[in-house]
Amino acid sequence: MRRNKTNRIALSKIELLITQAFLYSIKRQSKQNYQI
């Protein structure tokens, strides 16, 4: 059970990082579109 909990926390952290990177890339793309 302990292992499962730690794995879940790690997965959630990875998911957060992925979503943050995804949002950041979208923001960068939108900024580039405005510049053109």
pLDDT tens digits for range 1-36: 577 788 888 889 999 999 999 999 999 888 876 665
Question: What integer pLDDT is reported at residue 5 of this predicted model?
Answer: 84
Question: What integer pLDDT is reported at residue 4 of this predicted model?
Answer: 78
Question: What integer pLDDT is reported at residue 17 of this predicted model?
Answer: 96
Question: What integer pLDDT is reported at residue 7 of this predicted model?
Answer: 84
Question: What integer pLDDT is reported at residue 30 of this predicted model?
Answer: 82
Q: Which of 21, 18, 15 is nearest to 29 (CA)?
A: 21
Give ∠ CA 8-27-36 in degrees, rounded to 5.
155
Letter string b/e over residues 5-35, b meaning 16 or more CB atoms within 10 A of that residue's CB: eeeeeeeeeeeeeeeeeeeeeeeeeeeeeee
